[in-house]
Amino acid sequence: MSQATASEVVNPATEEVLRTVEHTGEAGVDDAVARARAAQRRWAAQAPAERAAALRDFAAIVDAHVEELAQLEVANSGHPVGNARWEAGHVRDVLQYYSAAPERLSGKQIPVAGGLDVTFNEPLGVVGVITPWNFPMTIAAWGFAPALAAGNAVLVKPAEWTPLTTMRLGELAVESGLPADLFQVLPGRGSVVGERFVSHPDVRKIVFTGSTEVGTRVMAGAAKQVKRVTLELGGKSANIVFDDCDLERAAATAPYGVFDNSGQDCCARSRILVQRNVFDKFMELLEPAVKGVVVGDPASDGTEMGPLVSKTHWNSVSSFVPDDAPVAFRGDAPSGPGFWFPPTVLMPERGDRTVTEEIFGPVVAVLPFDDEADAIALANDTVYGLSGSIWTENLSRAMRVSRAVEAGNLSVNSHSSVRYSTPFGGFKQSGLGRELGPDAPLSFTETKNVFFAVEEN
């Protein structure tokens, strides 16, 4: 399919159509790649300080439009406004952080016999970034900011359900003075725009965030050209609660470790593993915490959880909670228009699909474990390995368990997974490569080694 089409973008809290977005066709992608190649050559030729200044200007204009971007995300994605303001500010901060990189990609001088050996960090060229619908602005920035800093051009394909904030960032980039065609947002279908990113020989790397199912297809397609990929895929993260932890705090924070963004988060701690001898007490503490989550109008400052993103996704989440599901308790959610789903706590058996499959909604499975070895085995009994939390006051146990759990991002006595200054990514089928942190720009470069022979006198 190469014909450009269009789709309606819907407010998930009201089910009202916000606008119609034109889709990019295959010919449009090819044209964008050609223009991006030319822009990239000019960008890479600029002095590092000039590129750094341009990224700071981009960050400044995002800062001036934080409220606009936040309100747009509230309408398009149903994110609570407080979360959306943080997300817009995060885009600014990521740009500011990586604006320091162009002047610090210094390469190395390596001692060798007979001459001088140096390395250069050469930009790849054109990078294709394919983003998901759950955190449109932030995840796009994780790709485009370090890629631009490393001297590349970037094409972004936002998710069809939630393209509006990314499209606006593309406009703000131009307004900030970033060179024309260097950063382009191409809304469209994954089967058209995304697949052309993968197949186009002049797109030298794909950054994909989404399902493991689609990620494997991206990886297979990229392999045909030995094209570089960074993949951030699914998760089924464990929140491990030991009997020696601050149980009240662990229970009070557990809902926010899984129900943030309505559970539409690859880092969601969607399995709570509780030591058996404190299981009943933990459940007593968890129930009021879950029922206290404020679910409602995402435009309201007091809202903590909004709707699911679409009716299609609502149906998917609902399929995990049939009428005979082992529901321990639920929170509240509005009735009427909107794709609302209440925070839901299940007490399933270990082999149940709610324990093994990624639900991507406000549904959490709570399971007991016997001892440390059992907790580790249960936490690792998944094809995923993205994130997780460990609750214990025992430092030695925290060290042992954090080294034993097969996941890329762990928190002890908290649920924090993502900081732009530290690396982020998964083990096993949760992905390949790392985003964020000080080394991210290097993943958008090739290392070139040059030896200069020195003649003896």
CA distance 381 to 363: 19
| Number of Cα atoms under 13 Å in the Cβ half of residue 210 | 21
Q: Which of 109, 129, 105 is nearest to 119 (CA)?
A: 109
Active site residues: 232
Distance set, CA 83 to CA 52, 307, 452 (Å)? 28, 13, 53
Q: Indicate the length of the chain as a whole number.
A: 457
Record the tokens describing residue 224, joined without a space. 């045909």
Backbone φ and ψ for 391, nearest 5 degrees, come out as -110, 110
Backbone φ and ψ for 375, nearest 5 degrees, come out as -60, -45
CA distance 199 to 37: 16
φ/ψ bin of 352: left (φ > 0), alpha (ψ from -120 to 50), beta (otherwise): beta
CA distance 258 to 428: 21
φ/ψ bin of 408: left (φ > 0), alpha (ψ from -120 to 50), beta (otherwise): alpha
CA distance 214 to 429: 12
DSSP line for 125-167: SEEEEE--SSSHHHHHHHHHHHHHHTT-EEEEE--SSS-HHHH
Angle between helices 48-64 and 164-175 (to 10 degrees): 130
CB 402 within 8 A of CB 389: no
Record the tokens describing residue 332, joined without a space. 């509240």
